[in-house]
Structure 1
Amino acid sequence: MLPLIVLASQAAIAATPAPPNNQIIILRETPAPITVTASRNMIRLAETGISISQITLPQIEALSLPLVKDYLTLIPGVAVAQTGPLGAQTQIRIRGAEANHSISFIDGIEMNDPASSGEFRIDTLLSHGIERIEVLRGPQSALWGSQAIGGVISLATRAPVRGSMLYGELQGGSLGTVRGGAGGGWADDSISISGQLSGLSTDGYDSARVGGDKDGYDNVTAHGRIEWKAVSELTLLLVGRHQDSTSRFDGFNFVTGVPRDEPLETQSRQTALRAEAALALLDGQWTTRASFMGVRADNINRRANAFQNRSDGERDLFRLQSTGRVQAGNLTHSLTGALDIETERFISSDANAQAASNQRQRRRQTSLVGEYRLSTSNGFAAGAALRHDMNDRFADATTVRFDAVAPIGDVRLHAAFGTGIADPTFFDQFGFFPGSFQGNPNLVPERSRGVEAGIGWAAGGHSFDVTLFDANLTNEIIGTFNSNTFIAGVANATGRSTRRGVEVAGRAELAKGLTLNTSYTYLDANQQQVAGSAFVREVRRPRHSGSIALNYSSRQFDLSAAAAITGARGDTDFARFVPVTLPAYTLLTLAGAWHISPRIDLTVRVENALDASQVDVFAYRGPGFTAHGGIRFRL
């Protein structure tokens, strides 16, 4: 049996090259693990100097957590803030960046919500059917465009390599929670077909106080993928996805500064499509891809089942990319050129037909991308990327990225530098509900610069890695408030924000089947809204965070214990508009699987086993101790 969950940096699989900095070890991979986000093309993990973490299927199944955001708490440099119960708004901050400063992909489709604040609705993402979670840290706009300031989150769904597969699970437990799903696929030399259907329903609890109304959550997600090698040179790909979820939540009393029971709910629907044709010539040394990706998102807000308002967004992306590779002796050169044309549309509607927030907006961006990569037979690799964005609503922007990695025996040196941008969201530019919030059409994109450097060691199943990082942010989009008109808005800050820190991770094989993994992040994140004024600590970013995982695997059963440690963070009491401190906490997950047959497991999971008081957003309490059990099969 495979070990359960591994949280390692610079770790190595026996007899394989050491993976790059700060990554979760891959247990079920080929001898050359790959990354799909560190370059515009798939490359080996050992060929990038950028900090990457990966969680693969064995780890996902080991903990059997319901949402992808639960796994992100175990990744260095990632802070997760959940506003109360399951399905409530959840924000992801990478290395101290803002919640809308990262891009999320599912099977290559950019899933950030164009109908909201530009963030990916990570609270809607079920873990069933996900095979790999990859997190790239640091500015990546030169590759992937706007919002990739903190980094990139990429997810891949399960698909067969050859033959057929069928899998499923069913779990139930505390808070009236039931989750389940089924998936399968079939593949041969020319075609691969896969799909999943998953669902989750929970009665929830009251995040405002004990004994109040329960805030439940329901989610149904369907995903399908077909890849067909029409001829030896031409491959066609089609991916489709749809999710529909409803989250019930409390209102907020701005007089008392605490949530209050209200019959509020948000229905979130998102449909995505990717169609691609790839032509490989000259024995695969020259590849050209043409693709179309479309995302439609709706967020509908109701009170006591009565419509209040909604926002609808669309994103269409056409991409043309060509890559040529040349081998000269022990050197491999790769050169990529790409054209991205992105069109976004936004509609907001209020129950009041005269509301100022009723609007329709549209914008377009055309981008040119170039990337060069070099790799050598002795393990040295480097890359450079350049991107120029041409916008019809605000200023054009140019971003760059450089990275390099050099092995010296069992030691690896790695470094990267990049710049990033975050375009204003539709909410920022044009306003949103209520009408007392006004957008600012004169905003300019936020800009960031980041650098990192680290050293790692790996030998005999043990590893250790240290990475230092430093980043700043200018033109940050901040909230404003006019006390005379009681109108809220946004503006570009004249000051700058700084984010620096260190990520440390290690792995040790204690005995056969028994593995210990640890990680720690120190983050110093500060904001300066007005040039020349004092810096203040950024809210909801812990100065200290980390994780510890102890895993045992045998032929009869698997056991896993994973602790996600979150240090004290600052926040704001919006009733008094004063800073508050959120206390530190540790979430301990205990999970196990009894293999009653080679294809059937009985599973059990305990979340927050220490019954810690979890508050990620001021006045909203998290769930306490919960227990769940179920069955899992694979054919």
Structure 2
Amino acid sequence: MTTTDTFLACDWRAPRRTLSGALLGCLFSPLLLADDTPLTLERQWVSAPSVESTTVAEMARYGSKVEIIDRQQIERAGPSSDITRVLQMYVPGLYVAPKNGPFDYGTYSLLGGRNDDTLILLDGVRLNNRLYGGLYLDTLPANAIERIEVLKGGQSLLFGTQAVSGVINIVTRSPQTRDTSGEVNLGLDSFMGQSGDARVERILSNGLGDLGLLAYVSHNISDGYQPYRNSAYSASTRDKKRGYEVTTFGAKAIQGFADDSRLELFYQYSDANLDFARPVNNQKTTNDRVQQIATATFEQRLSERFSYFVKGHVNDWDTRYTKIDSLKDGRLVSKNRNDYWGFTDWGLQAEGKAELDGGHVLVFGTDNQWFKGQDDVLKIDNNQAQANALYTQLRPVFAALPDWHPSLGIRHEKMSGGESATVGMLTSLYDLNAHWQLRGQYGSAFKLPNAEQLFVNEDYEQGNRNLKPEKSLNAELGLDYKGSLLAGEFNASVTAFQRKIDDLIALDGIHWVNGQGRIKVRGMEVDGRWQFSPRWNLSADLTRNLLESRNGVTLSNIPGFFARSRLGYESEDGQWGVGGAIRYIGQIDSAKKVDYGHYSVVDADAYRYLDRAQQHRLSLLVENLFDRDYTTSMTSSAPAVDNLGRPFTSEVRYTYRF
């Protein structure tokens, strides 16, 4: 999705943001500094600016709530962190529960949404596969990410199906300096998990313009922890830990042409061997996976009033699934051995943005995607799909109301094997004064049935070729403040939301059906950040969700209440910092109506630069400081078993920048 107009270099001498708390200050005493000479990097850029419109960040100007997680926060999420861990720590109002630790599936909820109500993008490319409908973040390394943009509320107008409660756009890193530069990281945790990654980049000039090049590689390996209580394991279970090994490499090239156009190419390859933990009769259960993502984007600014981009992408996912049981009599039974399941997604999007007379802005585009898959584990009769969409949005300007920034638009989308969907959206931002803003959005969103729901053909699960798209009517209203409190910088916001869902897609016994009646979700999110002294800061957020069941249908795995708070301290010279955070999860019911919530978890972190140039750094993360036993989700087996969150884990990382 979005990139900044210029790729500015990181200034490593600039003050760092404070960490989340002061729990580990005693761990880092002053160290001798090897070099007093600051490391200087001049700001550089790829000369041709990015003109890709409909960006997540841009929508904040028209009434949508946007959160940005920057590179400093990503680095403090831990040496072996994947994207799920980063989201769990830093996004206000987003509930995230990794099933069994790093590089695993997770449960997500944003503004009262279900697990697949949030659309996940990588540089604007859809990661939610339309054949299976899931979220696939478990092989994305955090070291490859520059920032994460979270756009809240119904967003189907610009982003299509599954953008029911929000959009998370993961933006990969880009080259930023004309001198060869980069970094190397090495990490180790208390379960002997190891992590390592490296990045190198440079911007060159050639006969066409500026050429930015970047490459990265990462490797994470661990035997993991025991994700079930001892009482849950059968006597014949041999493999009781859930381990992982993930290797990723990627590259990006950005070629600028003069000052008005550019071509960006991106490729990432991930090879992962992931344990799929089971408590009963488990000898070996693994997903052995290769994922490849490639994108090509051409952007051009034809004039001061018109720009466009064309983006193509391929997302290829190939998994070999192995499941071997160990029986009481010692025999091994192979249920699956390297059985294949996977998919390939292609996409082509074109969008233009024109400034009309009077300052009005018109955005228009087409979004086309094709999908195919194969599954030797789950039988699906039709493993191909196609979706085509047209959309437009007007951002008018009213001279008599210069402080009002509205937008309105419409989208029509058709998917093969299902009905079409048409949605509209109105957003509004009003600057009340220098400190207060009133924002709101109202419109419809949709979720097309996936191939499993349409065409699955198993004895225990039957698809329905006549499923209608699931539709929802969404409303969000918010008030934002930015100013001061007791001489310190302070900003806060409150958002009330409501969602009315029609034609809810759900399982009725073994059959996929559209539910009768309307399901309502409503709630409130509050968050704030306070820099109450030059060195100390405090942030907190809380979310209350109220769910309505209808005709026996209840939305599950959505917390009724959750809250987080972070306290941080940073030294005056930015050489060291410490922090701590606590998160509390209230009632949360599984699909079988088992409440597995009501727990709190405390994390802590610290960092220390070893030299004035800030080339050498030690970082420490302690997850689950008090070793709380808590449940992240329930297994689908009968009887259901608790998936346990990560126990007390300490991780240390060394970073070298050059």
Q: Give the TM-score taking structure 1 as reference length.
A: 0.85
The 5 Å alignment of 1:71-220 reads 71-73=86-88, 74-114=90-130, 117-164=132-179, 165-187=181-203, 190-210=210-230, 213-220=240-247
Q: Which runs of 5+ in 2 are unaligned?
A: 1-14, 22-42, 45-49, 234-238, 325-333, 635-641
Give the SS at the match of 2:360.
strand
Distance 1:440 1:628 in 2: 47
Query: 2:285 matched to which residue of 1?
Result: 264
Q: Which residue of 1 aligns with 2:564?
A: 547
Please name the residue that 2:354 is paired with: 324
> Residue 100 of structure 2 contacts residue 242 of structure 2 at CA under 8 Å; is this kept in 1?
no
Matching residue's letter, 2:62: T
Alpha-carbon spacing, 1:634–1:470, altered in 2? closer, same or farther (3 Å): same
Deviations 1:32-89 (A, max 9, x none): xxxx999624764651311211110111123336021122224233222332343332
CA distance in 1, matches of 2:130, 2:102: 23
In 2 relative to 1, CA 396–287 (structure 1 residues): closer, same or farther, beyond 3 Å? same
Distance in 1, matches of 2:397 and 2:177, equals 30
Aligned partner of 1:454: which letter? G
User: Which amino acid letter does the alignment assign opposite residue 170 of structure 2?
Assistant: L
Give the 3 Å change call, closer, same or farther, for CA 602–261 of structure 1 in structure 2. Answer: same
- 2:253 paired residue among 214, 226, 248: 226
Q: CA deviation at 1:448?
A: 1.1
Return the offset for 1:143. 0.5
Determine if contact 2:524/2:544 at 8 Å carries over to the other structure. Answer: yes
Name the amino acid aligned to 2:300.
L
Give yes or no for contact 2:18–2:536 (8 Å, CA) kept in 1. Answer: no
Q: Give the CA deviation at 1:142.
A: 0.8
Amino acid at match of 1:277: F
Pick closer, same or farther for the CA change 1:581–1:414 going to 2, 3 Å: same
Q: Is the 8 A contact 2:407 2:426 kept in 1?
A: yes
- Write the distance in 2 (CA, Å) between the matches of 1:38 and 1:503: 30
Contact (CA 8 Å) 2:60, 2:66: kept in 1 or not? no
Q: Is residue 525 of structure 1 aligned with residue 553 of structure 2?
A: no
Distance 1:615 1:129 in 2: 30
Cα gap change, 1:222 to 1:326, in 2 (>3 Å): same
C-alpha offsets along residues 589-611 of structure 1, whole Å, 9 cap, x if unaligned?
Answer: 21111110211101111001121
Q: Give ranges in structure 1 of 5+ residues lacking alignment.
A: 8-28, 31-35, 253-258, 351-355, 482-487, 573-577
Change (3 A) 1:380 1:475: same
RMSD, aligned CA: 2.6
Separation in structure 2 between the aligned mates of residue 583 and residue 289 of structure 1, nearest angstrom: 45
Structure 1 residues 309-335: Cα deviation after superposition (integer angstroms, max 9, x where no partner): 33221211111222111463xxx3211
Q: For the Cα contact (< 8 Å) 2:539–2:566, is it kept in 1?
A: yes
Q: CA deviation at 1:260?
A: 5.5
Change (3 A) 1:45 1:513: farther
Verify: 1:401 aligned to 2:417, yes or no: no
How far apart, CA to CA, are the structure 2 residues paired with 1:45 and 1:511?
31
Equivalence for 1:436: 460
For 1:616 and 1:497, the matched residues in 2 are separated by 25
Are the structure 2 counterparts of residues 133 and 5 from structure 1 closer, same or farther at C-alpha, using a change threshold of 3 Å? farther
Partner of 2:493: 465
What's the offset of the Cα at 1:515?
Answer: 0.6
> Among 333, 343, 364, which residue is 1:313 paired with?
343
Bigger strand share: 1
SS in 1 for 2:202: strand
Q: Is the 8 A contact 1:208 1:261 kept in 2?
A: no
The question of whether the paired residues in 1 share the 8 Å contact of 2:51 and 2:308 is answered with no
Report the Cα distance in structure 2 between the residues aligned to 1:114 and 1:223, rounded to whole angstroms. Answer: 25
What SS does the corresponding residue of 1:466 show, helix, strand or coil? Answer: strand
Alignment of 1:241-260 (within 5 A): 241-251=268-278
State the alpha-carbon separation in 2 of the partners of residues 464 and 633 from structure 1.
36
Letter in 2 for 1:560: G
Using the aligned pairs only, state the percent identity. Answer: 20
Aligned equivalent of 2:39: none
Q: Is the 8 A contact 1:47 1:375 kept in 2?
A: no
Farther off after superposition, 62-71 or 495-504: 62-71
**Offset at residue 447 of structure 1 (A):** 0.9
**Residues in 1 aligned to 2:66 and 2:247: alpha-carbon distance in whole angstroms:** 30
Paired residues of 1:37 and 1:152 also in contact (CA < 8 A): no
Note the alpha carbon deviations across 1:544-595, whole angstroms, 9 max, x for none: 11211111122221112122222221125xxxxx532113222222111111
Structure 2 distance, partners of 1:583, 1:624, is 16
